[in-house]
Structure formats: structure tokens, C-alpha cells
A and B are shown apart, each in its own frame.
Chain A
């Protein structure tokens, strides 16, 4: 007999699959980013159904909120339209079906979903649930106790990763516009930001005067 929770679980999983396929099909990146936000929000609902309330609100705030804002900011700089794919989708489809088949084969000896006797619930989880109130202090939320106390080193490693990523983003974006490279007469010309079109054309004329015209073989380059 299927309980109401299981019905919600199945409906949300089907919604997620539909959203995912819509992301693949749309050529408008703005729509794709919005669909990704919807995907995050629906999965947050699914986390609530599966009792992971902390994961749910983190996913709703970070996955549906911050990620969407970051992607929209990027789209403002790189444009909204995706080009038609040039290759046939057969090879990626084959790889995806093969990988999915292997993964499904891997699940066949897994314990059933939600069984209280599953191996994952046998090791330290009962200890955390029973003892955290005495060992860590009067914190009702066990996830908080595990995150900040029992597995505090994990969280410290996480902050190190976030710090590294932040340093990377700052190094990449803090320099302002970089020089652009323009392909002209079979060679690359570096153009500093702020150069006007007239200056660039004058420079191209001057440089192409010194250089011999490219022969056919060289001209095909690039």
C-alpha cells in the first residue's frame, strides 16, 4: 500500500525529471537558469519529504537563491542565446544510457529505501541520536551537533574549500577587462581595453604593410 508521503515523493521526482528534460531542450539560457532554480526548489521540497529539513533550507537558499543570482549575473555578461549543437546527440546519448545502466545494475544489491535496518543506520548514527544531548550540550537538532562538534573538521575543511574558491574568483575577476585577441590576416593581434576601432584599423594597416600577404596554406590557419 502506498502512503501519501510516497505519493508526494513520486510526484516530486517526476516533476524534477520533467524540469531536467526542459533544461536540456530549451535554447534560451535565461529560461534554462530559471528552470534550474525551479529544479533546486522542487528538490528542496523533496528533502523535506525525506526528513532532511536542514538540507532543504540550505538548498532553497543556496541552490535556488544564490546560484540563480550568480548565473543571471553571468548571463548579463555572456548573452542569453545558445547555439544549435553541431554534433549528433548519438554518442553522448549512448554514453549516458550505458552509465545509467551500470548505475542501475549497481543498485540491485542495495537495501530497500527507508528500511530501519539498513547498514547506514547501524554504525555511529544511533550514538549521535542518543548521546549528542549529553555529550555536546542541550542542542535539540542533532544535525547541528554533528556538523559543529562530532564532524567539526569536515566543516573546517569545507570553509577551506570555500575560501580557496573565493580567492580564485577574486583573482579571476578583480583585474577588470583583459586585453582581447583579434584574428587578422592570419595572425592574432592583442588589443588593450579602451582601444578605439580607428586606432585598431590603423595598427592593422601598419602591420599588414610590413608583413607579406599570407599564402593560401597559411591563410587557412584559424
Chain B
């Protein structure tokens, strides 16, 4: 993994910018929310990348007996803290998505459209 250097971070930044572009360049409100979701998933990917340890395994403790002959050398685990923080972020993300989508439903009822430019010209 160390051989990758910073490639993972750069790939995640590209994904983040894909989501950001969808968010600012598309007029449809549902499409904007999809872009926001992509952005959010990339941030989660970024944090999980910070937690990865080369040669490590998932942070679930292995009993020394199961580990067997290699027990002499300590097992390397990935960092659990980014995982915990991102679990919270995923759940909060779906909650905000639900709120955003219900706003979209109400906007559709009030204006008859979910396209941003049509809403702006209708509310002038």
C-alpha cells in the first residue's frame, strides 16, 4: 500500500470533485442530492484511507490461541477510530438525504417543477 504513495488521496479527490460538479452544475434538485451523496461517500473514503495500515487486518481482536504459531509477533490492526467516525457520518448522511428529498417533494407540489431555473423564474 505504501507503494501507492498518495494515489489513493488523489483518486478520492477526483471522486469528490465529480460529486461537487454534479452539485453546482446540474439544475435538477434530485440530481444535486445524488451529487451530494457522491461527495459524502468520497469524504468517507478519504477518512477510511487514513485508517488503513499496511499489512494490517480489520480491527477485530484475534485470540492468541487461534492465531497459533505466529503469536510471538504482534498482530497489526488497522485504526478503528476513522471507522467509528464514518459509521456516524453514513447514518447522519442518510438522515439529511431524507430531509432534502422531502423538501424536494414539497417544492414539486408548490412550483410544479424541480428544475432550479424554472423555480427561479416562477418565484420572481
Task: List chain A positions with a Cβ less than 8 A from chain B.
Answer: 1-3, 5-6, 9-10, 13-14, 16-17, 20-21, 23-24, 29, 32-33, 36, 39-40, 43, 46-47, 50-55, 58-59, 62-63, 66-67, 70-71, 73-75, 77-79, 82-83, 85-87, 89, 92-93, 95-97, 99-100, 103-104, 107-108, 110, 112-116, 118, 120-121, 124-125, 128-129, 132-133, 140-143, 146-147, 151, 154-155, 158, 161-162, 165-166, 168-169, 172-173, 177-178, 180-181, 183, 221-222
Contact = CB atoms under 8 A, between A and B. Distances in A.
A166 B25 contact: no
Given A74-B105, A83-B115, 10 more contacts: A10-B7, A14-B11, A51-B51, A51-B77, A100-B17, A120-B51, A154-B88, A158-B92, A169-B98, A173-B102
B65 interface: no
A113 B76 contact: no
Interface magnitude class on chain B: 35 or more
Given A93-B25, A116-B53, A141-B60, A54 B87 contact: yes
Contact of A177 (B16, B86, B93, B109): B109
B27 to A, nearest CB: 6
Contacts of A146: 80-81, 84
Contacts of B90: 55, 58-59, 62-63
A33 B37 CA distance: 11
Contacts of A112: 2, 4-6
B26 A82 contact: yes
> Could you tell me the dominant secondary structure of chain B's interface residues?
helix
A114 B82 contact: no
B113 to A, nearest CB: 9
Interface of B: 1-22, 24-28, 30-31, 33-35, 37-38, 41, 44-45, 48-62, 76-88, 90-99, 101-106, 108-112, 114-115, 117-118, 121-122, 124
Contact of A39 (B25, B41, B97): B41
Contacts of B81: 120, 124-125, 128, 146
16 contacts: A13-B8, A40-B37, A51-B52, A55-B44, A63-B37, A63-B90, A67-B94, A79-B114, A95-B24, A104-B13, A114-B53, A116-B56, A125-B81, A143-B83, A180-B112, A222-B121
A155 B90 CA distance: 12
